[in-house]
Every structure is written in structure tokens, then in C-alpha cells.
Amino acid sequence: MPRDTVKVVISRKLPKPVEQRMSELFDVELNTNDEAFTENRLADALERADVFVSTLTDNITAELIANAGSQLKMIAQFGAGVDNIDVKAAAQKGIIVTNTPGVLTEDTADMTMALILALPRRMVQGVDALRAGEFKGWSPTYMLGHRIFGKRIGIIGMGRIGQAVARRARAFGLEVHYHNRNRVSPAIEAQFATTYWESLDQMISRMDIISVNCPATPATYHLLHERRLKLLKPHAYIVNTSRGEVIDEDALISALEAGQIAGAGLDVFQNEPEINPRLLALKNVILLPHMGSATVEARTEMGEKVIINIKNFLDGHMVPDRVLP
Ligand code: DGY
């Protein structure tokens, strides 16, 4: 099938150069108003597309895949996480799924580090106070936060982003610890002078900062549940730039409300884009609108990866970022 007759339906507005390049290569259908597809629109797209370019706002369930047209051969996710796609159901129907890892690692790690720094140093509270006209001049006891240097960080998930966070944390003088499904190689452990904890419970009960950097999978759903959150030290902070589902959000909010932990920096939420009003009422949180990879560079490179994946697939070559169930 010639490439320019391949129907590629793109679910969201992408960076202009990416849309342009895709339009040159394929028979592209763009989403010009940039609203997330409704379930009906998603079903319709999957009925017509040869290749569907999805994002995390498309909930591609087994049912939608079962009803997809027989011409649908590929779901090319614009993003690293694929928790919105039933990859197993896709594989059973002979549809390949790809993602865009690697190119958003550094930017997501930067955002994680920004939250790690901003929370104990009360940066957002400082900005808010200044804007509200509450700054009456320097004082020895004004806006005191806590030192970051020398503290212990426990990284949950030592994949690409976890390692990039470890590198930054080391540079800021933090003692780096991690928990991962599988222990990483001694070379990687040595590179970040990091300590492995097989027991997540034991690790989190000893840390000053917890950074969630693992993907959302059935195994990580509510990994930080009520009982585990209770193990955290009262001065500990939690940062999550992965997926909201990894933390039991209600339990986290209760812990924050009760002052059981010091604070949380959240870039992701359980029911995005809805934010639990109890979270909004808290002072000891920094809440961001899922912007960990939101740089022009990352989003452009993610688009380039999508194009490479589609081209390789159509040309019958090895597809670099194939996701297996
Ligand atoms: C991803 O790629 O999964 C990110 O969350 C999108 O920014």
C-alpha cells in the first residue's frame, strides 16, 4: 500500500512541524480543535483509520479494539505511557502498539527535580505570599523551609526517568535509594551511588523524599496505598510525575490533611483533568497540570518518533518502539 494512501487519524493537535511532516507522508486526518476525542469519536476513528495516533487522553479499551475496523493495523501512541491502551487486546487483534520513550526523559526528570526543590523550600508559598503583598521585608524566621542537601530520596521505578532523577538528585547532594520491580545492574547502581531496597515498605519508612517514577500498570495501581502512606515519616514529601493511579489519592489527601506527611508535589492525578477539591484546599501541595514532558523539544521529538515508528511499520522494517503486552 503506498504510504500516501495510508489513513492516519491523529487524536490531538500535535506540534506544527510534526503535523506538516505527517501530512506530507500519509493521508492524515488532524484534530484541529484539540479537544480530547469522546468515546463515540474514538470509536469512529478506530473504525476508519489504518493507523491511529493516540495520546494518553484516549481510553482505548478492549471493547473499542474489538469493534475497530479490520483495516486498523497500528496504534502509535504519542507518549511514553501506554496505560490508556489495552495492549493485550490490540495484540490479539493483530494491531501493533508503539510509544515514544527516551525523548521526554530529561524534561520529565527536570520537572520532578523542580518539585523536589520547590516543596521543602516553599517556593510556591513564597511566590503566592509576595504576590499577595505579604512580604514585609527579610526576617530571620520568615518562610523557613527545609534543607535538601544530604537528605534521602527514595525513587520508585528505576527506568529511564528514575535514573535521570537519580542523576539530578546526586548532583544536589541527596542520598539516592530506589525500589524497582527488578534490581538494576551494578554498573547503574554504581553510577548513581544508589541503594536498592527490595522492600518498598522498608524503603519508604526511611526516606525524606519519595519520587514516583514507575509506569501505571495493574501491578502498580495504588502501589502507595493507605497502609504504605502511613509508613512515611512526618517530614517526608512525595513527588509524582508518573501517573495518578500509582497513589491512592484519597489516602494521600487524608495523610496530607492530617499532617501525617509534610507535603506532595503532583503533576498527575487519578481522574485527570478533574482535580479533587480537597487537594485544591491544601497548602502543603504543589499541583501542576500534567506538564512533565511539556517542552517544545520533547513534544517535537515525540512526534518524530511517532513518524519513524509508522514509517518503519509500513515499510516492513523493525519497529523501534513496539510495546509488547
Ligand atoms: C507520557 O508520555 O506518558 C507523558 O505522561 C505525557 O506527557
Using the atom order of ligand 1, give the atom closest to the CA of residue 80: 2
CATH number for 78? 3.40.50.720
Q: In terms of Cα–Cα distance, which of 279, 267, 228, 297 is closest to 81?
A: 267
Residue found under cell 485527570: 272
Residue 185 makes CB contacts below 8 A (sequence gap 6+) with none
Residues 226 and 236 in one domain: yes
Residues 278 and 319 in one domain: no
Looking at residues 55-64, what average pLDDT do you find?
Answer: 98
Residues 194 and 128 in one domain: yes
In this predicted structure, the answer to whether residue 180 has a pLDDT above a threshold of 90 is yes
User: In this structure, is the dihedral angle defined by the CA atoms of residues 99, 102, 108 and 113, taken in order, positive or negative?
Assistant: positive
Residues 144 and 250 in one domain: yes
Residues 275 and 315 in one domain: no
Residues 198 and 140 in one domain: yes
Testing ligand 1's pocket by substitution, the residue of 56, 269, 306 carrying the most ligand atoms inside 8 A of its CB is 56
Cell numbers placing 136? 514585609
How many domains, in total, are found in the chain? 2
Instruction: Give the residue numbers marked as catalytic.
Output: 243, 272, 290
Cell numbers placing 144? 523557613
Residues 245 and 132 in one domain: yes
Would you say the CB of residue 101 lies under 6 angstroms from ligand 1?
no
Query: What is the residue-averaged pLDDT of the chain?
Result: 97
Cα 147 to averaged position of ligand 1 atoms, centre (Å) = 30
Residues 89 and 9 in one domain: yes
Amino acid 311: pLDDT:
97
Residues 307 and 204 in one domain: no
Residue found under cell 529511564: 160
CA distance 156 to 142: 33
In this predicted structure, the answer to whether residue 264 has a pLDDT above a threshold of 90 is yes
Q: Which domain does 242 fall in, by range? A: 105-287
Q: Whose CA is closest to atom 3 on ligand 1?
A: 81
In this predicted structure, the answer to whether residue 1 has a pLDDT above a threshold of 80 is no
Q: In terms of Cα–Cα distance, which of 98, 125, 59, 43 is closest to 313?
A: 98
Q: What is the DSSP letter of 60?
A: B
Q: Are 72 and 54 in contact (CB under 8 A)?
A: no
CA distance 92 to 63: 12
Residue type, 131: R
Q: Whose CA is closest to atom 4 on ligand 1?
A: 79
Residues 94 and 52 in one domain: yes
Q: Are 268 and 294 in contact (CB under 8 A)?
A: no
Cα 132 to averaged position of ligand 1 atoms, centre (Å) = 34
Using the atom order of ligand 1, give the atom closest to the CA of residue 298: 7
* DSSP annotation string for 204-246: HTT-SEEEE-SPP-GGGTTSB-HHHHTTS-TT-EEEE-S-GGG
pLDDT tens digit sequence for 131-168: 999 999 999 999 999 999 999 999 999 999 999 999 99
Q: In terms of Cα–Cα distance, which of 77, 39, 72 is closest to 55?
A: 77
Testing ligand 1's pocket by substitution, the residue of 104, 241, 267, 301 carrying the most ligand atoms inside 8 A of its CB is 104
**Residue 116 C-alpha from the chain's centroid:** 16
Q: Is 11 in a helix, a strand, or coil?
A: coil
Q: pLDDT grade, residue 44 (50/70/90)?
A: very high
Residues 166 and 244 in one domain: yes
Q: Whose CA is closest to atom 6 on ligand 1?
A: 79
* Degrees to nearest 5, angle at CA 127 with 122 and 129: 90
Would you say the CB of residue 81 lies under 6 angstroms from ligand 1?
yes
Residues 111 and 249 in one domain: yes
Q: pLDDT grade, residue 4 (50/70/90)?
A: confident
Cα 177 to averaged position of ligand 1 atoms, centre (Å) = 24
What pTM was computed for the model? 0.96
